[in-house]
Amino acid sequence: MTVGETGRGLLELTRPVNVIAASALTFIGAFVAGGVAEEPLAVAAAVAATGLAVGAGNAINDYFDREIDRINQPGRAIPRGAVSPRGALAFSGLLFAGAVALAVTLPATAIAIAGVNLLALVAYTEFFKGLPGLGNALVAYLVGSTFLFGAAAVGEIAPAVVLFVLAAIATLTREIIKDVEDIEGDREEGLNTLPIAIGERKALVVAAVLLVVAVVASPIPFLRGYFGVAYLLVVAPADAVMLLAAYESFANPTTGQSRLKYGMFLAALAFIVGRAALEVPLLV
Ligand SMILES: CC(C)=CCC/C(C)=C/CC/C(C)=C/CC/C(C)=C/COC[C@H](O)COP(=O)(O)O
Ligand SMILES: CC(C)=CCC/C(C)=C/CC/C(C)=C/CC/C(C)=C/COP(=O)(O)OP(=O)(O)O
Ligand SMILES: [Mg+2]
C-alpha cells in the first residue's frame, strides 16, 4: 500500500459525508437555540467535537466489523487492505481524544451528552448492534442527540428536544432498512438484528410505520412557534421524499435507505430555514 492509499483509507474510515452532516446538525441545534452569534467559540468547539466523534465512531465500527465487512462491504478500507486493523483502532483513539479535549470546554449538560455518546459509540458494535432493534435505537439516539448537544453548548436546550425526537425516529427507520440490506452477512456473523428476529417484511413494516409517525409529527416545531411558515414549505417535500423512500425499500432496501438519507438532509435544511424565517420575517 502507498501512503496515498493509506491516507485515502483513513479518510474513508471516518465517512466524511456523515462527519459533515452530523457536525451540521450540531450547528443547527445551536442555531435553533439562538446561540450562534453570542457564543461562536462554544459552537465551533461543539461542531468540531461532533465531527471528530463521528469519525472516531465510524472508524472503530469498521475495526470491530472487519470480519463481517469481508461479506457485507468488501470494498471498505480494512477488508481491501488499505488500512490495517491496528491502524484503524489507533486512528479512532486519536479522533476520540480530540473530541474529548474539545467537549470538556463546554457547559456541563453538553459534557454529559458527549460523555454518554462517546461511551455509546465505543459500545455500539460489540454490545448493541446484534440485539434486535437496540443497536438501531442507539444509533438513532446518537444522531438525534447532535441537536441537543449543539443547543446545550450555548444554553437553551428546549427547542432542540422535538428535533431530537424527529431525527431519532427517521434514523431508526433508516437503520432498520439498512439491517434488511445487510441481512446476509449479519446472519453469517450470528447477529440477531430486527429483520433476522422478526423477518424482513415485518421489519420493513415497522420501519415504515415509525416514519409515518415522524412525518405526522413534523409540523410540531411550527405549531410550538419554534419555526416560521417557511419550515412547512421545505419540510413538506422532505416528508414526501422520506415516505416514498420507505415505500421503495420494500422493493429495494439499498435504494430506499439511500433516498431516505436525502429526505433527511432536506428535513435538516427545513430546520435552518424555519428558524431563519423567525429572525427575518420576509422569508415567510
Ligand atoms: C420527519 C422529519 C422531519 C425527520 C427529521 C429527519 C432529520 C433532520 C434527520 C437528521 C439526520 C441526518 C441528516 C443524518 C445524516 C448523516 C448521519 C450522521 C448518519 C448516521 O449514520 C449512521 C449510519 O449507520 C451510517 O450509515 P451510512 O450513511 O450508510 O454510512
Ligand atoms: C455529539 C457527539 C459528541 C457525538 C455524536 C455522535 C453521532 C452523531 C454519531 C452518529 C452515528 C454514528 C456515526 C455511529 C457510528 C457507528 C455506526 C453505526 C457506523 C455505521 O457503520 P456501518 O458499517 O455502515 O453500519 P453497521 O455497522 O451498523 O452495520
Ligand atoms: Mg459496520
ipTM for the predicted complex comes to 0.95
Share of the chain above pLDDT 70, in %: 99
Q: From atom 21 of ligand 1, which residue's Cα is the shortest distance away?
A: 18
Exposed, middle or buried by CB within 10 Å (0-12, 13-18, 19+), for 214?
Answer: buried
Q: Given pLDDT bands bounded at 50, 70 and 90, which one contains residue 130?
A: confident
- The closest residue, in CA terms, to atom 3 on ligand 2 is 114
Question: Is 18 a pocket residue for ligand 1 (Cβ < 6 Å)?
Answer: yes
What's the mean per-residue pLDDT of the chain? 95
| pLDDT tens figures, 71-100 | 888 999 999 999 999 999 999 999 999 999
Per-residue pLDDT band for 284 (boundaries 50, 70, 90) equals low
Ligand number nearest CA of 175 is 1
Ligand nearest to the CA of 185: 2
pTM of the model: 0.95
Q: Which ligand is nearest to the CA of 193?
A: 2
Q: Which amino acid is at 12?
A: E
Work out the average pLDDT over 187-209. Answer: 95
pLDDT-based confidence at residue 159 (cuts at 50, 70, 90): confident
Q: Residue 204: pLDDT above 90?
A: yes
Cα(16) to centroid of ligand 3, in Å?
15
Confidence of residue 282 (pLDDT cuts 50, 70, 90): low
Residue nearest to atom 5 of ligand 1 (CA): 167
Q: What is the mean pLDDT of residues 264-269?
A: 97
Which atom, in ligand 2's list, is nearest to the CA of 22? 8
pLDDT of 1 over the 70 cut: yes
Nearest CA to ligand 2 atom 19: 58
